Chain A
Amino acid sequence: MTLRSRRFVNDPTAIVSEMLEGYVAAHDSVIALSDGMVVRARPKPAGHVGLVVANGSGHEPALIGWVGPGLLDVNVPGPIFASPGPARIVAGLRLADRGAGVLLLVSSHAGDIMNASMSLTKAEAEGLRVEMVVLYDDIASAPPDRSEDRRGGPGLFFVWKIVGALAEAGASLEDCAAMARRARDATRSISAAMGTVVHPVSGQPLGSAGETELSVGMGVHGEGGDVLDEGTSANQIAELLISRLVDDAGALPGTNVGLLVNDSGSLTLMELSILYRGARRALEQRGIKVSRSWIGRYATTLDQAGFGFAISLFDREMERLYDAAARGAAFSQVAVRA
């Protein structure tokens, strides 16, 4: 296995802007570009809370594909793996303001938090009403007693979906922020990958993982994790990761969970399905019921050969919001069990 270092691009410095132009044009009934930011083709009605996420690029469809009815209002994409600066985030907050305040959701990574905090100060000085909630779910990045030090991972898609539905239904800024925290605290993720990927601009591999090294607990930027034996089977990995998630969440038999199997970039649906099967079995053996499932590409790290599992311990209200209709470029569903 060798790292893929050649990509179908034009000017390396224009990768993000050309990606946005192409992606938005392909989905112009749902989203539009406004000053380099992804916004809804038709803004949310006035009097609704706006939802904004700013994040580095390279994680698509996060989160350019998650703007639309029932999901986010504005996504502020930064350079590859780097948060946009505070001025950009403030511009995004302004765009999302429909008169009921704006909720800035931040996936916990050092640069994202710093830039978001700076933008919050500047937005408040402008008179915007903004709340910020920092989201995290990756159990490999810090122990349970320091959960606020954890990174954001693929489990945050449960949060985007649930809060997106609540804001769409007209809930207040305080209620949306409270739900974001509640969904975050109910959610855990962990990831595994083989090797690493090459940064398309610098040409450098991310992190120090060997080309075929199988590691658990990778971050979304190739940060290293624990190394597993190369012969470990999909079922063994699934069992290991699910046992860690269940222990960390303290999920008891009889619990209802949502299960996400996220493709970090270049796994086959064949592998994802085999991993899902292993994860589901591991959960059911523990008496945990999988009531909702997602499988596919949610948060990627370019074309990394890896995946993440996320579980979210749903209560009734979260299930109802999960089931609400949503329409983004990368995720859409009609309302189920309405």
Chain B
Amino acid sequence: MTELTADMASAMIHAASVRVAATAGELSRLDAVAGDGDHGVNMAAAFATADGSVASEAPTDVADVFRLVGQVFEESGSGSAGALFGAYFETLGLRLRGAPTAEATDVVAALHAATDRVADLGRARLGDKTMLDALRPAVDAARAAADAGASLESVMSAARDAAVAGAESTAGMAAKAGRARYARDGAISTRDPGAVTIAVMFEAWADALRPQRAQAMKATP
């Protein structure tokens, strides 16, 4: 069974940085409906800094990769998103501490704890039209896959599919948390930019863990 190594986690962050940068314009346009219209730009900048920080420090423990990313987001000062993504990655780092690599079930447990932390910090519930509407289905699908004995790659693919569907479902929701709840109609009819960012991130992660990719990234067997 493939375990998540620091190299693979670094590849996940790199892939997320590339993919968020490519969708930055769309994310900002979604944000402009009820926010400042700078979400994509901020997220792309923070992921790029995180990617650079991981590349230069080259941590050998998977936990340290996520811890570093958390630090970058917390220092990026991108308002709610900076705090929420910072807390998410910080929690992943805390939960994966103690071993250099992580099994699929460890990863799922960490994703679960990180999702709970985001829900708690953002005081958001499922259906409030927030990033939680992508995070929660993703971790539920990941857990179901891991419980059925799926590999890390399959677990992440399941998480990706659920995150994408979750992000899509936010079109049609009226915002009940965050600044968007003050928009005239709760920004109904557009997708939540935070949820879409999560979907983009999980797409990148699933892609980075595909066997041929993972091999190219010197994954341990």
Contact = CB atoms under 8 A, between A and B. Distances in A.
A56 B79 CA distance: 8
B77 A88 contact: yes
Interface in B94-150: 121-122
B84 interface: yes
B84 to A, nearest CB: 7
Interface string A80-111: 11111111100000000000000000000111
30 contacts: A78-B79, A79-B78, A79-B79, A82-B38, A82-B78, A82-B79, A82-B82, A85-B73, A85-B74, A85-B78, A85-B86, A86-B74, A86-B86, A87-B74, A87-B75, A109-B179, A110-B122, A110-B178, A111-B79, A114-B87, A118-B74, A118-B121, A141-B182, A151-B182, A204-B36, A204-B38, A205-B32, A208-B183, A208-B184, A223-B179
Scoring B71, B74, B178 by chain A CB atoms within 10 A of each residue's CB, the highest score goes to B74
Interface of B: 28-29, 31-38, 41-42, 71, 73-84, 86-87, 121-122, 177-179, 182-184
Contacts of A205: 32, 37
A121 to B, nearest CB: 10
B177 A221 contact: no
A16 B74 CA distance: 18
- The 6 A-B pairs with the shortest beta carbon distances in the complex, nearest first, are A204-B37, A111-B79, A82-B79, A111-B80, A223-B182, A114-B83
B77 A85 contact: yes
A83 B86 CA distance: 13
B82 A115 contact: yes
Contact of B83 (A81, A111, A141, A207): A111
Chain A interface mostly helix, strand, loop or mixed? loop
A202 B87 contact: no
Contacts of B182: 141, 151, 219, 223-224
A109 B180 CA distance: 11
Contacts of A222: 36
Contacts of A332: none
Nearest to A54: B77
A110 B78 contact: no
Contacts of A78: 77, 79
B32 A110 contact: no
Interface residues of A, number: 37
A67 to B, nearest CB: 19
Contact of B82 (A85, A141, A201): A85
Contacts of A80: 36, 38
Contacts of B73: 85
Interface string A105-129: 0000111101101100000000000
Interface in A201-245: 201-208, 219, 221-225
B118 to A, nearest CB: 10
Nearest to A88: B77
B187 to A, nearest CB: 9
Contacts of B77: 78-79, 82-85, 88, 115
B32 A85 contact: no
Contacts of A79: 42, 77-79
A100 to B, nearest CB: 28
A115 B86 CA distance: 10
B130 to A, nearest CB: 10
Scoring B79, B87, B178 by chain A CB atoms within 10 A of each residue's CB, the highest score goes to B79
A83 B76 CA distance: 10
A223 B183 contact: yes
Contacts of B71: 87
Given A82-B79, A110-B178, A224-B182, A206 B37 contact: yes
Contact of A81 (B38, B75, B86, B178): B38
Given A84-B77, A115-B82, A219-B179, A199 B37 contact: yes
Scoring B29, B37, B121 by chain A CB atoms within 10 A of each residue's CB, the highest score goes to B37
Nearest to B130: A110
Scoring A82, A109, A208 by chain B CB atoms within 10 A of each residue's CB, the highest score goes to A82
A82 B37 CA distance: 12
B32 A204 contact: yes
A168 B206 CA distance: 56
Contacts of B86: 85-86, 118
A128 B178 CA distance: 29
A110 B216 CA distance: 41
A80 B35 CA distance: 12
Given A82-B36, A109-B179, A219-B182, 14 more contacts: A79-B77, A82-B42, A83-B80, A85-B74, A118-B74, A199-B37, A201-B38, A202-B32, A204-B28, A204-B38, A208-B184, A221-B35, A222-B36, A224-B182
